[in-house]
Amino acid sequence: MGNAEELARERRARLAAERLLDLKQAELHEANRKLSAHARDLTEEIIEKREETQALRHQTTEALTQLETARGKIMIAERRLWTSIETVQDGFAIFDHSGVMVAANAAYLAPFDGIDAVGPGVGYEALLRIAAEEGVIDTEGASRDDWVEEMLWRWRTPAIPPRTIRFWNGGFAKLVDRRSDDGDTVSLALNITAEIRNQAKLKAARRRAEAANRAKSAFLANMSHEIRTPMNGVVGMAQLLAETGLTEEQSLYVETIRSSGESLLVLINDVLDYSKIEADKLELHPEAFDLEQAVYEVTRLLRPSVGTKKLELLVDYDIFMPACYVGDPGRVRQILTNLVGNAVKFTEEGHVLIRVSSLPDAEGARHRVHISVEDTGIGIGSGQIDHIFGEFNQVDGERNRKYEGTGLGLAITRRLVEMMDGEIWADSVVGQGSSFGFYLTLEVAEEQWAEPPEIPPWIRRILIAGAHFPERDILRRQLVSQRLPAHAFSNAGDLRDARPTLGDVVLLDCGLEDAAADALGNELRDGGFDGPLYLLSGAPTNPDGVFTGILQKPLRRHDVLRALSTSPEPETPDLPAPTPLARTERRRMRILAAEDNRTNRLVFSKLVKSADIELQFAENGLEAVNAYEAQPPDLIFMDISMPEVDGREATRRIRAIERDGRLRRVPIVAMTAHALTGDRDEILAAGLDHYLSKPLKKADLLAHIADACPPDCAPPLPELEEAQAARA
Ligand code: ADP
């Protein structure tokens, strides 16, 4: 190899080495650059971390300070809490979930005074055993083990019930324990010693007061009973005295003695009943009785107190209800009499409606009997309703002042209802009326489930004509519920339009406004109606020939059904030749005497005693007109001066009815104390036929009776019969 070649090779090697050196230098440079960038990043990071650490250190110091403050506050709160808990007279303790005492105040631990084992750390069961065995508590008769067992059982129930315990020294504590969500149990032992002692004192005082009250009521009951006996003498003797020959003035005095005596007796009876109830001396005497009959009896007894008021007494006794129950009939009647009596007393016009219904219990042996007495009277303000059930309480007001009463009726009624497992309430709107309702729990008297009478199949329709909506509607509903086709009409015109015919039964109310019942009855008969025709009447009357019979109001569903079931089936009659009626077949002469004075009525009845007549009294003019309308009598004796509607006005009305209904004219004889000639003419001008001045003479009365006797009546006087016989 030549030198040149050697030189070229060296030069090439040197060049290659230089290039490699450059490359390595470039790489080194790059590495240096990266290294310094990294070092810079690191420095920045270190600075950042240092700042963060600085901040954290600051925060920690702050947190530590706050923690210290909080701990201080907690300690203060805890100390305050415990100071409060310690101050409380009642015991307070906390037990953990396993029943170990965590803390307790001094009051809780006090009963265990001196027993070291009792304090935080003691288990609940151990605590109970110590309490029982060391005699801390009075187990009140139970054995110690039983007491502990019972208390443990209580402690283990999820919602621990409160329990009163008694300590050895007669003190009492009520234990109230509550579990918290974390399983601890907070236990309070409330000191109720003073409360229990007070209660015992109150009980003793109440017992003494009740005994004193019973003694007072017993005294009152005895006294009222004692007063009744002489009072009966006073009233009875006054009655007898009134029947002896007295002047009008004397009669007035005697009547005043009698009526005052009777008012006093009512008051005494109320006081007697009330004091008997108060003294626990009133006993119920249950027996099987007819409730339906009792309701009707009460209405019948109270009918006279309706007097001249335009007031209908109605009964709606649920047709599906049994009539007989086991109860104290006297007391049930007393309740009804009080409520219906009040309703009549406080209602001037409209109606008093007694509704009776019942609900059987599950076995059906006992019924909840609901009775309501609704009236259309003066009503009671809502604020007074509770008040009136109190003793001697009455509604105080202008409108009530004119009504007499003791204010004891409802108090007695309420007590009686409560004695019969019932409840009473009232509802009222002033000026519109009141409704008193009550229920009694009564056993059904088994043997009394009588089947309703069977209605003959020929009865096609029952036509009811009556002026009063509730009354005719109750009757219609009762009949319809027995699957009987009943129709009700409010006036004679509608009844005529219904054209009563074969297969119909007509029930005619005597109070229709557009026709007198007798006249309408005659008209139906004249028109060819042959079927049963019943008069519905509130006053005792004698059925005229035109009527099949009379049904007394308020109508008893059973009476109506029985009348229907026994109604004669009409047939085309083969009229027999009229034969003179024997004396026994002829009806008695009907005489109506209108007289407002009770003594005078008594005198009148004594004077006509020897006459065989049917005597009916009206106590004023209005009653006389009503009685006339119900059934025209054969003769009327009319007192002239009577309250509200006097004798003249009553006569005018009767004459008007006669004209409208084209009825036979009834002779009317005036009776008056004013024997002035002018009066006589005026009286006769009012439509009266004759004139008698008081005092009445027996002979005059009998003469008028004999004169007025119609041919279809039995002669009222034996002498008259003899005379007739002699003439024949
Ligand atoms: P008395 O009727 O003897 O006063 P009660 O205890 O029977 O006593 O009634 C108390 C009062 O309740 C009555 O005085 C009357 O003010 C009121 N009262 C009772 N029933 C009725 C009624 N049906 N309508 C209006 N007020 C009545």
Atom of ligand 1 nearest to the CA of 408: 6
Residue type, 70: A
- pLDDT, position 580: 42
Task: Name the CATH code of domain 91-191 (choices 2.30.30, 3.30.450, 3.40.720, 3.60.60).
Answer: 3.30.450
Closest CA to 325 of 369, 363, 290: 290
Q: Do domains 287-444 and 461-565 have the same CATH topology?
A: no
φ/ψ of 476, rounded to 5, equals -60, -45
What are residue 552's DSSP bridge partners? 537
**Is 413 touching ligand 1 by the criterion CB < 6 Å?**
no
CA distance 152 to 172: 19
What does the alpha-carbon distance between residue 513 and residue 530 come to, in Å, rounded to a whole number? 24
* The ligand 1 atom nearest the CA atom of 389: 6
Q: State the pLDDT at residue 675.
A: 47
* Helix, strand, coil in percent for the chain, rounding step 5: 50, 20, 30
pTM passes above 0.75: no
Q: Which CATH class is domain 287-444?
A: alpha beta
Q: Structural domain boundaries of the chain?
A: 1-87, 91-191, 287-444, 461-565, 589-727
Flag whether pLDDT at 279 surpasses 90: no
Rounded to the nearest angstrom, the distance between the alpha carbon of 267 and the centre of ligand 1 is: 14
Q: What confidence category does residue 391 fall into, taking pLDDT thresholds of 50, 70 and 90?
A: confident
Q: What is the spatial distance between Cα 108 and Cα 101, in angstroms, rounded to a whole number?
A: 11
CATH number of 461-565: 3.40.50.2300
**How high is the pLDDT of residue 170?**
86
| Domain 589-727, CATH homologous superfamily name and number | Response regulator (3.40.50.2300)
48 pLDDT tier (thresholds 50, 70, 90): very high
Q: Please, are residues 167 and 136 in contact by the beta-carbon 8 Å criterion?
A: yes
- State the distance from the centre of ligand 1 to the C-alpha of 403, rounded, in angstroms: 9
642 within ligand 1 shell (Cβ under 6 A) = no
Nearest to 592 by CA among 610, 606, 607, 604: 604
- pLDDT bin (cut points 50, 70, 90) of residue 546 is confident
Pocket test for ligand 1, best of 271, 274, 376, 410 (most atoms within 8 A of CB): 410
Q: What is the DSSP letter of 548?
A: S
Task: Looking at the CA of residue 406, tell me the nearest atom of ligand 1.
Answer: 3
Q: Residue 595 is inside which H or E element, if any?
A: none
Q: What is the 3-state secondary structure (H, E, C) of 172-202?
A: EEEEEEEECCCCCEEEEEEECHHHHHHHHHH
Q: Looking at residue 693, what is its pLDDT?
A: 72
**Ligand 1 pocket, residue 388 CB under 6 Å:** yes
Q: Locate tokens 């088994």: which residue?
A: 446
Nearest partner of 531 among 556, 499, 494, judged by Cα: 499
Ligand 1 atom closest to the CA of 433, numbered from 1 = 24
**Tens digits of per-residue pLDDT, 99-141?**
999 999 989 998 888 788 899 999 999 999 999 998 899 988 8
User: So what's the pLDDT on residue 427?
Assistant: 93
| Model pLDDT for residues 9-27, shown as the tens digit of each residue | 999 999 999 999 999 999 9
Query: What pLDDT digit, counting tens, does each position of 481-530 carry?
Result: 777 778 888 888 888 888 888 888 999 888 787 788 888 888 888 888 88
Within 8 A by CB and 6+ apart from 670, the residues are 638, 640, 647, 651, 683, 684, 688, 690, 691, 692
Residues 584-625: tens digit of each pLDDT: 567 889 999 999 888 778 878 888 888 889 999 999 999 999
Per DSSP, 383 falls in state G
Q: Which residue's CA is the closest to the ligand 1 atom numbered 19?
A: 342
pLDDT given for residue 162 in this prediction: 93
Neighbouring residues of 453: CB distance < 8 A, sequence distance ≥ 6: 558, 561, 562, 564, 565, 566
Q: Which residue has the higher pLDDT, 214 or 156?
A: 156
C-alpha 634/C-alpha 614 separation (Å) is 10
Average pLDDT in the chain: 84
Ligand 1 pocket residue status of 667, Cβ below 6 Å: no
pLDDT band at 541 (very low <50, low <70, confident <90, very high): low
Give percent above pLDDT 70 in the chain: 91
Please answer whether residues 335 and 436 qualify as being in contact, where contact means their C-beta atoms are separated by less than 8 angstroms.
no
- Per-residue burial over 564-576, b = 16 or more CB atoms within 10 Å of its CB, e = otherwise: beebeebeeeeee
